[in-house]
Structure formats: structure tokens, C-alpha cells
Structure 1
Amino acid sequence: MLDKSQYLAVSEVINWKYPAVLRQARHIAQGHATDVAIAQACFEWVRDTIYHSVDYRMNPVTCRASDVLRYATGYCYAKSHLLAALLRANHIPAGFCYQRLSIDDRGAPYCLHGMNAVYLSDFGWYRVDARGNHNRINAQFMPPDEQLAYSIRLPEEADFPAILAEPLSCVVRALQTQTTWTAMQNHLPDLSPHQAKQLGLMAGC
């Protein structure tokens, strides 16, 4: 049986006990009585209120949940860190999932894309993608059906089913190394399917 306690843990990156994160988590949860309603409210708030760094050309590059909240911007990975923190602050287990996508939708080069999985009492693990919608992306929360931002179309793209309790170290390292959204564009983290298999990302939870 999966130990869900690890998906409620606090860490340097998922610092959900940071006062501002706790306050925001409680504020979002107000008026919602179920884990599904709270999770949807947290998801939609991060999706719609935190600006994707590239879509809005915003700095700085954020990583820790508290910094994503403070600056109201982040790459997909960073937004997933904040969403996990808000969910965990509301006692809802949350983890991290990744896809490998073509950067230009035509082939190489590739990069990782980060999103979340949330454990809902009525549905089990359910994946959500809070990267932010626009005219070509329409990610929604409607369990048990997934509606993610991206689908896998090319042979070297991949959907890694594992649900991790902490973000990938290569993702954290990239976010902590780069300072501007343009620099980050040139240093996006990537894992080949072979590397992902070695890290256990090919096995679902």
C-alpha cells in the first residue's frame, strides 16, 4: 500500500508551512467542504493567478513554493511546486508528474514538462496541469477524466506515469541556477526515456 504521508511532507522547495503559503491555502479553502472542491479551487487559483514565466515574459525564475507565491510567476515546474504546497497545507496528498515534450512541436530538442497528481478520496490519484491556459491550451479539473495541457504526439515524447513525492533534482537544479526566463529557455531540463526508466519514472503508483 502506498504511504501517502510522503506526499504531505514539507521540504525546502515545497515549503507549505511558510506563513504566506499557509494563509493562501486557508483562504482558498474557505467555503469548500470536500477534498475535491478544495483541490479544484487550489488548482484553478494557481492555473489562473500565477503567471507562466514564458507566456508573460516575467522574472525572476522561481522554484520554492513561497517564491512562486511571492512573485506570482513561474515555469510549469514552479507552478506545480506551489500547487503541491497549497494542497498539502490543506491536508491533501500531492505529488509530481512529468512529460517529455518537443520544444517546437516538430522534434528535437525536447524538455520536461511538470504537473501534479492529487489524491482524492473518491477517485484516487488524479493528474492536473496548472501551467496556465491560453488559446491553444485548455487544462481543466473534472475527475475522474483528465484534461491536461499537452498530449503525446511524437515518438520521442513521453508521458511518465510515476508520481513522485518531491520534484526531480534536475528540475530544481535548473530553476535554482537560472535567473531570467530567457536564460531558463536555453537550459530547460530533459530526460530521455532511457534515463527516465533508470530513475523509476516509467512505473506508475
Structure 2
Amino acid sequence: MLSLIQKDNLNDYLELSEVVDYNNPEIQLKARELAQGLEQVEMAKTIYHFVRDEIDHSLDIGSDEVTCRASEVLKKGHGLCFAKSNLLAALLRFMEIPTGFCYQTLTHEDGFVIHGLNAVYLSGEWFRLDARGNRDDVDAQFSMDNEKLAFSTLEEGEDDYPYIFSKPDKRVVNALSTWGSVDEVMKTIPTAL
């Protein structure tokens, strides 16, 4: 497990932004519904499971539609890993749980691609969570003991960045906001931080 490095002030991990738009009424309603009556850790776990299991990964369902803003991901019910991480951040931040953005460089087809995930601040520590969505070859879990992410960086050229950013990578947001298809996004996503 990596020693995680907080890049910004803890309060920055609670900020509202254009893509982490927890001022949206649907985001607020869903967060309250999922968190009702739960303590902070159980709340985070329930919200994580919702994003991982109820919001599809666009590639897994064969959708070519691109989503980016958290409210858009919630409404459409799918997104790439980056979009899903925006939704997880929005739901958790609305419930006042500091949430950041983390990245890995992974092998993809004939090259490399950045993969997005989150880190949450619970019980005075940061824990990385990957809400990408499980499938036969992916088994990400909520764990505060041992990380159980969607992917391990085992291949030559892959990288697991220890940094926790308060904002998603601008190049990733730009790709999600610019291109009209998942295929185009996958061709233009950065290959490294």
C-alpha cells in the first residue's frame, strides 16, 4: 500500500466545483437518501457501493456517450472512471467527508492510459477507493485496512501515483468536456501525470 501524500489543504477536499457539483438538488437528495441514519464510515461505504455498483462504467455497457459532471453521471447512470470519481466526490463532499482524486497509469491496448479513483478522509486517515465498477476481472472493495483497488500496477511502464489532489486533473476534465464519444476520450486521455 502506498504512503499517500495530501497535496492541498484539507478544506480544499470539500470544495464545490463545476464537475463536483454537489449544489445540484439531485446530488443532495441522493446523498441524503444513501446516508440516512448512518455514521460517517458506514455512510462513506454505502455511498461508495452505490457509485461502484449502481452507476455503470461506460465501457462495460458499450456506451459511447461521455459524462463528466457529477450530476450528469447520476442522471445518465454511467461514466468512465473519471466521471464516476466526480460523482463519488460530490456525494461524499456534500456529506462533509473530505474526498480527493488519485491516479494510476495503466496498460491499455497498445499503450498506456490514466485511470482515475478517489481517496477519502475517514477517522483521521486517507484511504483510496476505486468506484470504477466490478466485473469478472475486477474486484474493487471498500477497505480501510488493505487497499482493494480495481487495478494493480504490475506491468512495466505502469505507475501508481501516491498524490491526493483536491481537484480532478485539468487535462482529463478537458477531454471529457471536449469530445463527444468515449472512443475519442480514450484516444486523448493523458498517459501519465
**TM category, shorter:** over 0.9
Q: Separation in 2 of the partners of 1:103 and 1:53?
A: 16
Residue 161 of structure 2 is matched in structure 1 by 160
Q: How many residues align?
A: 187
Contact 2:171 2:189 in 1 (8 A): no
Residue 175 of structure 2 is matched in structure 1 by 174
What aligned pairs does 1:44-59 form with structure 2 within 5 A after superposition?
Answer: 44-59=49-64
Normalised by the size of structure 2, how large is the TM-score? 0.93
What aligned pairs does 1:13-162 form with structure 2 within 5 A after superposition?
Answer: 13-32=19-38, 34-104=39-109, 108-121=110-123, 124-162=125-163
Q: Secondary structure at the match of 1:54?
A: coil
Q: Structure 1 counterpart of 2:57, which letter?
A: H
Does 2:11 correspond to 1:5? yes
Q: Secondary structure at the match of 2:120?
A: strand
Q: Separation in 2 of the partners of 1:115 and 1:20?
A: 22
Per-residue CA distance 1:67-101 (angstroms, 9 max, x = gap): 11111110000000000000001010000000000
Unpaired runs of at least 5, structure 1 = 197-205
Task: Identify the range of structure 1 (54-63 vs 81-90) with the bigger mean alpha-carbon deviation.
Answer: 54-63
Relative contact order higher in (CA < 8 Å, ≥ 6 apart): 2
Contact 2:105 2:191 in 1 (8 A): yes
> Following TM superposition, by how much is the alpha carbon of 1:12 offset from its aligned partner in structure 2, in angstroms?
0.6
Q: Separation in 2 of the partners of 1:17 and 1:4?
A: 20
Task: Identify the range of structure 1 (22-31 vs 129-138) with the bigger mean alpha-carbon deviation.
Answer: 22-31
The alignment-based identity, stated in percent, is: 43
Q: Separation in 1 of the partners of 2:95 and 2:156?
A: 39
Q: Structure 2 counterpart of 1:153, which letter?
A: L
Contact 1:57 1:181 in 2 (8 A): no
Q: Separation in 2 of the partners of 1:39 and 1:14?
A: 16
> Following TM superposition, by how much is the alpha carbon of 1:59 offset from its aligned partner in structure 2, in angstroms?
4.1
> Following TM superposition, by how much is the alpha carbon of 1:145 offset from its aligned partner in structure 2, in angstroms?
1.5
Unpaired runs of at least 5, structure 2 = 1-5
> Following TM superposition, by how much is the alpha carbon of 1:137 offset from its aligned partner in structure 2, in angstroms?
0.3
Q: Secondary structure at the match of 2:60?
A: helix
C-alpha root-mean-square deviation of aligned residues, in Å? 1.4
Q: Separation in 1 of the partners of 2:41 and 2:63?
A: 31
Per-residue CA distance 1:8-67 (angstroms, 9 max, x = gap): 0001111111111111111110131x2110110111000001110100012420111111
The 4+ residue runs of structure 1 with deviation greater than 3 A are none
Contact 2:127 2:144 in 1 (8 A): yes
Normalised by the size of structure 1, how large is the TM-score? 0.87
